Every structure is written in structure tokens, then in C-alpha cells.
Copies of this chain bind each other. A is one copy, B any other.
Amino acid sequence: MTENRQVIIASLPQESLGVSDFEVRSVPLAQPGEGELLCETVALTVGAGQRAGLQGSASYAGAPRTGIVMGGTGVARVKESRAPGFSAGDLVVGPTGWQEYACGPAKGWQIVDDELDPAHHLGVLGTNGLTAYFGLLEIGKPAAGETVVVSAGAGSVGHLVGQIARIRGSRVVGVTGSSAKCDLLVDELGFDAAVNYKESNFRDLFKSATPDRIDVYFDNTGGDILGSALFRMNAHGRIVCCGAVSQYDTKNPGAGPRGVPGLLVNNRVRMEGFLIFDYASRFDVGRRQLRDWLKTGELVEKRTEFSGLGHAPEAFVALLSGRTTGTTIVRVSE
């Protein structure tokens, strides 16, 4: 334990991201200073929003550059603590970045419970789960019996959104990118219907799957799927703008949806973006509910796992090309 393997940004992708945009290097292990922690990464999560982060000013995550460790959230084991409140052995979640060891200020790290599979803290009990929970319930506000549609429905956030909506008594339709994913949503996760947006007759299928139109559309994709949903909204419908994955992995993110603003006016639709950080004061409430649902089995977490830090770039590319389902996890140690 004298070296630290890291995945660094080798080049900023101009078009689709590739594994060659990253490099692995080893650097001497840093030592924590006063108020700092040294943590060993257990697992990382890779999210589509990180692709937006590589676009620079297009994202809230700040400007990226080459030569630095790829950022990201992970679950880790404290190896050495020089900060009050943390002890060696604690399981923590924080900004590990893509590296075996993270060393830095304790701020931003949080001790998490050690009873569950640590990966849950990066999915259903982490940002993905909280995003699904607060985005759907606080912005979407679905009522029982209403129709909720979620795009990237088999994704890290989407598969949880659909299940939470189902638990709350809504009719749930997922939009996703393969028939296998559609089957997963309906057969395993209890969605009422699922539609593959790659089918040539997607619009017809989408219409058939939403006979009572749409009350809440939880948008993870933007682009054409958002455009289609706009035409199916009921009066006073709500569109939760969570992400725009269709627009992340390209230099030229196409025009916006034609229905804006005309259809918003005609159908009195509310369309609202949110960032989960705004709900930080209530994370505990959300996490408790998600954990209860997880315990009873009402809520199931799906995961696609990769093994070894060196596979993080591959996990990221797989995610962006739609080859993963649920939370994408890279297991690094333990």
C-alpha cells in the first residue's frame, strides 16, 4: 500500500466517448493531513450525468480538463482518519474519483451503514434513489390512478422512479432502448407497460401504451422521447426534467422539442428541472422510506456490475451506449 492506481482523463471527447479517452496510471499514495481522510475505494458508480460533466460549461459540475483523475462518487473504507467523527474501518460514501485511494478533506464524506451490500449506497440509497424519490414525488406529484411515464426506464434512476410510482398507485409506463429491457420492466419490476423507442413505429406503440394519456412524465433523456411525451400530456400534466442523456454524448445536441412552448400553453403543462442537492435537508427522510421499501421487497434494485478499477472506462462507455440496466457499478476492492 504505497501506490495508488488512478484513471485519468486522457482527452476530452469530441463526439462519442471511448475507452481511449482515459488512461490508468500509478502515483505514490498520499498521506492525509490535518482534517483529512485516506479512504480505500470499495465500489464506484458511473452515471450518465458525468458525460455532461465532460462537456465543460454545459454542466453544473464545473469545467473538466485532461490529466486529472476522473471524478465520481464511490463507497470506500476509511484507512486513516485525521478528521473528527471518522475512524479507520468506517464505511463512507464520497467523492472517491476513479482511483483506488482517495485522500483529502473530510468534508463531503458521509459514514453509511455497514449492514447492506455497499453498492446500495451508490444506487437506491444514494443519489439515484433520492433523485427518483424527490423528483417524482415533489416535482411530479403523481396521484393514485394517474399515468406516469419514465424515459431511460431501465436506467439507474428510471427503474426506481417507475417502481416508486407503482408503489404509490400510479399506472407506470417505461420507455427504454431494447425489448429485453422492456421485458425486465414489466416482468420483474411491475411496470404496467414498456415501449422500446428504437422500434420504427415507436409513436404508435407509445400511444397504445398510454391510452389515458400522460399525467406525469419523468424525463431522463430529452430529445425525441420528450418531444413525443409532450404530445401525449393531459391537461395540467407535469414533466420532471431530471436529465438529458440523449444530448450528453455528442458535440451537437440537436434542437429542442417542437411542442415548447405551444403545447405547454394549450395543455397547461408544468415542466420543471431540479437538482437533487436542493433536497439535501430531507435526504434522511427519503433514504428511510427507500430502505423500508427495499426491506419489504416492494422496491428492487437492478445493477450492472464491472469488476476492477481498470474497467471503469468500459463501464462508462457501456452505460452511454445503453448496454447497462439499473445502477452501473464498478467493484474496486473487497
Question: Are A275 and B271 interface neighbours, CB within 8 A?
Answer: no
- Quick one: given A255-B255, A256-B256, A259-B256, are A275 and B265 in contact (CB under 8 Å)? yes
Question: Are A262 and B60 interface neighbours, CB within 8 A?
Answer: no
Within residues 235 to 278 of chain A, which ones have a CB less than 8 A from any CB in chain B? 239, 241-244, 247, 253-275, 278
Question: Are B278 and A265 interface neighbours, CB within 8 A?
Answer: no
Find the B residue at minimum CB distance from A223.
Answer: B261
- A262 contact from B227, B244, B270, Cβ within 8 A: B244
Q: Is A58 an interface residue (CB 8 A)?
A: yes
Min CB distance A95 to B, Å, is 19
Q: What is the CA–CA distance of A268 and B274 in the complex, to the nearest angstrom?
A: 4
Q: Is A329 an interface residue (CB 8 A)?
A: no
Q: Is A215 an interface residue (CB 8 A)?
A: no
- Quick one: given A242-B265, A265-B242, A265-B243, are A222 and B260 in contact (CB under 8 Å)? yes
Min CB distance A152 to B, Å, is 13
Question: Are A273 and B278 interface neighbours, CB within 8 A?
Answer: no
CB neighbours of A243 from chain B (8 A): 265
Q: Is A8 an interface residue (CB 8 A)?
A: no
Q: Is A219 an interface residue (CB 8 A)?
A: yes
Find the B residue at minimum CB distance from A222.
Answer: B261
Q: Is A59 an interface residue (CB 8 A)?
A: yes
Q: What is the CA–CA distance of A52 and B261 in the complex, to the nearest angstrom?
A: 13
Q: What is the CA–CA distance of A256 and B59 in the complex, to the nearest angstrom?
A: 20
CB neighbours of A226 from chain B (8 A): 260-261
Question: Are B262 and A253 interface neighbours, CB within 8 A?
Answer: yes
Find the B residue at minimum CB distance from A58.
Answer: B262
Within residues 49 to 80 of chain A, which ones have a CB less than 8 A from any CB in chain B? 52, 58-60
CB neighbours of A222 from chain B (8 A): 260-262
